[in-house]
C-alpha cells in the first residue's frame, strides 16, 4: 500500500519538493502558514490539515522543511505538535537545516513515543528542488533510512546515509562552510582581477577547467558578472547555517576561523541591507573594501 506522507513547510524549497512527491504518486497531507501554498497543493490533490498533531495522526511518514531549530522543535514537540498525535511506527523526517544538537534533542523526545526520526537536510537550492535533483544527507538508523529511501529519492538526485541522528546536519554544516568559503574566495579573486585591470569574466573562463573550477564557481560567477543577486540562497539563511556551524564547532572544540570570518562578512552585508540578496552578494563586501565594482 502506498505510504501516506505528511508535509509541513511549503516554502521556497518545501513547495516544489512536495509537488515532486505528488508527481511520484504519493498521497500527501500538507500544512503551512502560507494559505496560497496550501491551496496550490490542495489543487494538485493534497489533503489539508491545520496542525502537526492532526497530520501525525493520519500519516505514515511526516516530513518537515522549516527555517531553523526553534521552528522544528515547535512543530515536533510544541502544543498541537507531532508528539501529541504520534503513535508507534510513525517515521519523522526533518529535512530542515538545523543544529545537530537540536535534531538529537527532538529525536530523544520522539523515540519515547515509539517514533523514529531521521535528520535529512538538503543542498541544491530552489532550482534543484523544482527539478527533483537536490542532494539529501541523512542521519539516523540504517533500517529507518531504508524504509523512506524511495520517498526521498522522489525529490532528489542523490540520497546518502551519513551516520547516526544528527550526522545529516553535521554534513550540511560542512557543505555550507565549503560553499560560503568558496564564494568568498571567488569574490576576493574577481575583485583583485578587476582592480589589476584584468577582465573577471576572462579570469573565470581561464580557470574554470582547472583545479580552481567548482560547482560553486560555475553557479555563482555568472551571477556576479551579471550583477544578478536575486536569491538563490539568501544571505540571512547562510548566516543561520554558519551560526549553527560555529556553535557546533565550539561544542566539539573544532576551531573554524575561516567560517567565523565569512560569517562576519555576511553580518556586514546584512547591516548594509543585503540580507535578502543571494549569497553571491559576498562580492559586494569585497567591492566596498576595494572601492571597485566588477563587470563583464
> Which sequence positions are flagged as catalytic?
172
The C-alpha atoms of residue 288 and residue 32 are separated, in whole angstroms, by 39
Q: DSSP secondary structure string, 13-53?
A: THHHHHHHHHHTT-EEEEE-S-HHHHHHHHHTT-EE-SSHH
All residues at 6 or more sequence positions from 233 whose CB lies less than 8 Å from its CB, including other chains:
125, 278, 279
CA atoms within 13 A on the CB side of 75: 29
Q: Retrieve residue 246's grid coordinates.
A: 560555529
Q: Retrieve residue 131's grid coordinates.
A: 527539478
Q: Retrieve residue 248's grid coordinates.
A: 557546533
Q: DSSP secondary structure string, 99-158?
A: -HHHHHHHHHHHHTTT-EEEE--EESHHHHHHHT-EEEEEES-HHHHHHHHHHHHTTEEE
SS3 state at 33: coil
Considering Cα of 173, then 176, then 181, then 182, what sign does the dihedral take? positive
Helix (H) or strand (E) run with residue 64 in it: strand 61-64
Q: In terms of residues, how long is the chain?
A: 296
All residues at 6 or more sequence positions from 86 whose CB lies less than 8 Å from its CB, including other chains:
56, 110, 113, 114, 115
**β-bridge mates for residue 117, sequence order:** 92
Amino acid at each position: 500500500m502506498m505510504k501516506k506522507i505528511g508535509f509541513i513547510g511549503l516554502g521556497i524549497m518545501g513547495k516544489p519538493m512536495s509537488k515532486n512527491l505528488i508527481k511520484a504518486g504519493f498521497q500527501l497531507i500538507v500544512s503551512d502558514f502560507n494559505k496560497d501554498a496550501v491551496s496550490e497543493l490542495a489543487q494538485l490533490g493534497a489533503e489539508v490539515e491545520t496542525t502537526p498533531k492532526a497530520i501525525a495522526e493520519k500519516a505514515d511518514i511526516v516530513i518537515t522543511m522549516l527555517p531553523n531549530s526553534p521552528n522544528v522543535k515547535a512543530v515536533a514537540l510544541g502544543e498541537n505538535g507531532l508528539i501529541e498525535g504520534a503513535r508507534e511506527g510513525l517515521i519523522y523526517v526533518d529535512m530542515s537545516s538545523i543544529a545537530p544538537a537540536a535534531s538529537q534533542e527532538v529525536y530523544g523526545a520522539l523515540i519515547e513515543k515509539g517514533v523514529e526520526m531521521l535528520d535529512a537536510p538538503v543542498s541544491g537550492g530552489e532550482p534543484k528542488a523544482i527539478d527533483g535533483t537536490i542532494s539529501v544527507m541523512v542521519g539516523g538508523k540504517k533500517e529507518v533510512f531504508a524504509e523512506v529511501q524511495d520517498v526521498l529519492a522522489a525529490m532528489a538526485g542523490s540520497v546518502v546515509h551519513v551516520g547516526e541522528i544528527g550526522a545529516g546536519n553535521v554534513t550540511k554544516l560542512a557543505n555550507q562552510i565549503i560553499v560560503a568559503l568558496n564564494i568568498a574566495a571567488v569574490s576576493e579573486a574577481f575583485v583583485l582581477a578587476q582592480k589589476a585591470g584584468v577582465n573577471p569574466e576572462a579570469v573565470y573562463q581561464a580557470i574554470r577547467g582547472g583545479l580552481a573550477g567548482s560547482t560553486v564557481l560555475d553557479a555563482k560567477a555568472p551571477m556576479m558578472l551579471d550583477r544578478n543577486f536575486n536569491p538563490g540562497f539568501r544571505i540571512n539563511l547562510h548566516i543561520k547555517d554558519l551560526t549553527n556551524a560555529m556553535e557546533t564547532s565550539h561544542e566539539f572544540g573544532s576551531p573554524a576561523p575561516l567560517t567565523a570570518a565569512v560569517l562576519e562578512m555576511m553580518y556586514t552585508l546584512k547591516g548594509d541591507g543585503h540580507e535578502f540578496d543571494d549569497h553571491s552578494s559576498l562580492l559586494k563586501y569585497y567591492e566596498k573594501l576595494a572601492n571597485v565594482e566588477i563587470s563583464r
